Amino acid sequence: METRILGKDLEVSAVGLGCMGMSHAYGRPFDKKEAELLLEKAVEMGCTFFDTAEVYGTADDPHHNEKLIGEILKPHRNHIKIASKCGIRFDETAEGVNKPLIPDGRPETIKKSIDGSLKRLQTDHLDLYYIHRIDNKVPIEETAGAMKELMEQGKILHWGLSEAKEDIIRRAHKVCPVTAIQNRYSMMYRDYEALFPVLTELNIGFVAFSPLANGLLTARYNNAAEFSESGDYRKVMPQFSESGIKENEKFLAWIEETAKAKNVTPAQISLAWMLAKKPWIVPIPGTRKIERLEENLLSAEVKLTQKEVNEIDSMLEKIPMSQVFGGSKVERNH
C-alpha cells in the first residue's frame, strides 16, 4: 500500500486500522483468535498503522485492546507503527451506554500511563502517543512538556493531540513539535476542515477517526439494523436512530450512486474522498470483519480528481443529513 508522511517523518500506510472496535463501543470484545485473523490480514495487506488507546477495553478488562494488539503484533513490531493515547478515563459510576470521559492531562498521569502502555503493547517505544482529550484544568504547555520528556527518554518517537483546536495546537507545538492531530472527520462531520491551513503551516498530519461516521457511510445499515449487545454505542448514535436512518435515505442513495459511477463501494468513496483532500490525511477506519478490512484498505487505490472532490463537497453542503455522533460527554473533575 502507498504510504504517507505525518509531520516531519512519521511514515505510515495511507489507510490505517482503528483497533478500538475489537474491544470497545461496538459490542462484545474480540477474543485472541478473532483479533489475530483480522490483524494478520491487515499486516499482510500492507497496513502499517495501528491505532489503540489505554482506555479501549471493558469494565472487566479496561486495557483489553492494548494487550490484544501488543501480543498479536509483536512479531511484526519492527515493520509497523503503533499509536496509542493517554489522558482520559471513563466515569464508570455513570449510568448508560457511553460513559462520560474524565480528561487528565497532568504530567504525572502521562508519565505513569506510558509505562503501562509500553508494557501491555510489549514494546520499548510508541511511534505516536496522543493526549486523548484536552484537559482544560492543565495548561497544554505542561502536557506538551511531559510528552517532550517522554521523547527525550526514547519512550515515544512522536506525539499528537486528539480532538484539538487551533489555539491549543499552536501552544502545544511551540513546546514540542506535534506530528499529528487525531480528530473526528467524515463526510458527515467536516468541522475540522477549518484546521487544514493551520496544519499545512505547521506541517502537522491529520489522522481521521470515525471516518465512516461509525459505519453509516457504508450504506449497509437501515432500519432493520440492530445493535443489541451491551456496550454497543451505535444504539445511542443519532445517525442510526429510526429518524436518523430516514433523514439519511437520500444522502446514502447519493453516496451509493457516486460510488457506483467509480466502480467502488460507498465505504471506499468516503475514504478516497478524504485521502484526495490532502497528502497528509490518514483515515483509520475500524472494522471487525475481514472482508470489510480488505474493502477499506483498498480505498487507498481509489483516486479522485480535484473536480470529483469539489463535486462531492458541494453536494455535502446541500444534501440533507442527520446529526452524527459527536463523542462521549467530557467531564471536568479529575
Ligand X SMILES: NC(=O)c1ccc[n+]([C@@H]2O[C@H](COP(=O)([O-])OP(=O)(O)OC[C@H]3O[C@@H](n4cnc5c(N)ncnc54)[C@H](OP(=O)(O)O)[C@@H]3O)[C@@H](O)[C@H]2O)c1
Tell which residue, 4, 2, 70, 48, has the closest CA to residue 204: 4
27: left (phi over 0), alpha (psi -120 to 50) or beta: left
**Residue from 42, 296, 302, 321 binding ligand X (CB under 6 A):** 296
**Residue from 13, 23, 117, 218 binding ligand X (CB under 6 A):** 218
Strand-pair category, 81-86 with 128-131: parallel
Regarding 87 and contact with ligand X (CB under 6 A), the answer is: no
| Binding segment toward ligand X, per CB under 6 A, in 36-44, 193-201, 239-247, 287-295 | 287-295
Q: Least distance (Å) from ligand X to the CB of residue 307?
A: 25
Q: Is the dihedral of CA 190, 192, 196, 199 positive or negative?
A: negative
Query: Which residue in the shown chain puts its C-beta closest to ligand X?
Result: 18
Name the 3-class secondary structure at 130. strand
The number of CA neighbours under 13 Å toward the Cβ of 283 is 29
Strand-pair category, 3-6 with 81-86: unpaired
Count the neighbouring beta carbons within 10 Å of the beta carbon of residue 194: 10
- Kindly name the residue from 26, 56, 129, 192 that is annotated as catalytic: 56
Q: Does residue 56 carry a catalytic annotation?
A: yes
**Residue from 6, 14, 15, 20 binding ligand X (CB under 6 A):** 20
Enter the C-alpha cell of residue 200: 499545512
Instruction: Between 51 and 66, name the residue whose CB sits nearer to ligand X.
Output: 51
**Residue from 209, 240, 251, 273 binding ligand X (CB under 6 A):** 209
| Binding segment toward ligand X, per CB under 6 A, in 36-44, 114-122, 239-247, 288-296 | 288-296
CB 64 within 8 A of CB 57: yes
Regarding 135 and contact with ligand X (CB under 6 A), the answer is: no
Q: Least distance (Å) from ligand X to the CB of residue 77?
A: 18
Q: Least distance (Å) from ligand X to the CB of residue 142?
A: 21
Query: What DSSP assignment string belongs to 51-74?
Result: E--TT-S-SSSTTHHHHHHHHHHG
Instruction: Between 48 and 287, name the residue whose CB sits nearer to ligand X.
Output: 287
What single-letter DSSP state applies at residue 316? H
**Residue from 188, 213, 269, 321 binding ligand X (CB under 6 A):** 213
Catalytic residues: 56
Binding site for ligand X (CB under 6 A): 18-21, 26, 51, 132, 162-163, 182, 209-215, 218, 220, 267, 284-289, 292, 295-296
